[in-house]
């Protein structure tokens, strides 16, 4: 759909489980843009630091790990230092680590630089917590997606259950509420809606309905 010569950047923010990733992937496909999963990037960092036993307060070890870290995307796969880590980074533990380490300035500086570089060179659809407010403040289009904590927990629980991971709905809901608190209260670039973003509540709505709403807005303003 993106027939314009100039690139188009779409920022989609919102809390965990709001449906950002699924919807962003399809919007990117419809726009012939690249989907950049920033959440996966933070999960990958969290997974690597956890795997290497690096504590959040060990600045020297953190800097060494970050300097030697490369994250990329290839046909839907998340590559950490050349290794596909799709499943390793989608566990509740990896999510908690992502929330913990994403509050560290060194981690955010590293990943934001990578994300901005991608957006400067090509059309992208990027989802995360602070894309419209910090990473791509001049994005062509900004959306803020949300949903009730209960519905987001149910979605995530079903996703983990389908993957055979032994979790309870109560634990998933607790994790989501804790992550909401962490993401929205951190001092550095907290989760919040950009002033010029379009807010979309996905509670009780299908993925296709939300995609159609986003594409209609982009079509009208392009």
Q: What percent of the chain has pLDDT over 90?
A: 63
Please compute the mean of the pLDDT values over residues 150-160 and round it to a whole number: 93
Cβ-based burial of 31 (10 A; exposed 0-12, middle 13-18, buried ≥19): buried
Q: What is the pLDDT of residue 175?
A: 93
| Confidence category of residue 1, pLDDT binned at 50, 70, 90 | very low
Q: What are 84-102's pLDDT values in tens digits?
A: 999 999 888 888 888 888 8
What CATH architecture does domain 34-122 belong to?
3-Layer(aba) Sandwich (3.40)
pLDDT of residue 5 exceeding 60, the answer is: no
Domain boundaries, the chain: 9-30+124-215, 34-122
Same fold, 9-30+124-215 and 34-122: yes
Q: Which residues are annotated as a binding site?
A: 14-22
Domain with residues 9-30+124-215, CATH architecture: 3-Layer(aba) Sandwich (3.40)
Q: Which of 95-104, 119-128, 208-217 has the highest mean pLDDT?
A: 208-217
- The average pLDDT across 47-51 equals 91
Structure-block tokens of residue 47: 């997974």
Of 1-15, 143-157, 163-177, 184-198, which range is least confident? Answer: 1-15
Q: What is the DSSP letter of 130?
A: S
pLDDT score for 114: 85
Treating both helix axes as pointing N-terminal to C-terminal, what angle do 20-31 and 207-221 enclose, rounded to 10 degrees?
40
| Position 163 pLDDT exceeds 80 | yes
- Mean of the per-residue pLDDT values for the chain? 90
Non-local (6+) Cβ contacts of 131 within 8 A are 11, 12, 13, 38, 115, 139, 142
- Binding site for ATP: which residues? 14-22
- Indicate the pLDDT class of residue 74, thresholds 50, 70 and 90: confident
DSSP notation for 37-84: EHHHHHHHHHHHHHHTT--TT-HHHHHHHHHT--EEEETTEEEETTEE
């Amino acid at each position: 759909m993106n027939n314009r010569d100039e690139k188009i950047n779409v920022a989609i923010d919102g809390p965990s489980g709001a449906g950002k990733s699924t919807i962003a992937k399809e919007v990117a496909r419809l726009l012939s843009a690249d989907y950049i999963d920033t959440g996966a990037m933070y999960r990958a960092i969290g997974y690597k630091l956890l795997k290497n036993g690096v504590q959040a307060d060990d600045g020297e070890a953190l800097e060494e790990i970050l300097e030697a870290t490369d994250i990329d995307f290839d046909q839907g796969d998340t590559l950490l230092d050349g290794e596909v880590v799709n499943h390793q980074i989608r566990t509740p533990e990896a999510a908690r680590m992502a929330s913990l380490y994403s509050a560290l300035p060194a981690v955010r500086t590293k990943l934001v630089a990578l994300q901005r570089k991608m957006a400067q060179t090509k059309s992208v659809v990027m989802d995360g917590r602070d894309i419209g407010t910090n990473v791509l403040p001049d994005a062509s289009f900004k959306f803020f997606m949300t949903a009730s904590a209960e519905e987001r927990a149910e979605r995530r629980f079903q996703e983990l259950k389908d993957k055979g991971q032994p979790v309870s709905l109560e634990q998933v809901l607790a994790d989501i509420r804790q992550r909401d608190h962490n993401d929205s209260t951190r001092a550095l670039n907290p989760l919040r809606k950009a002033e010029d973003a379009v807010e979309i509540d996905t509670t009780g709505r299908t993925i296709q309905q939300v995609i159609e709403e986003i594409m209609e807005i982009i079509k009208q303003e392009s």
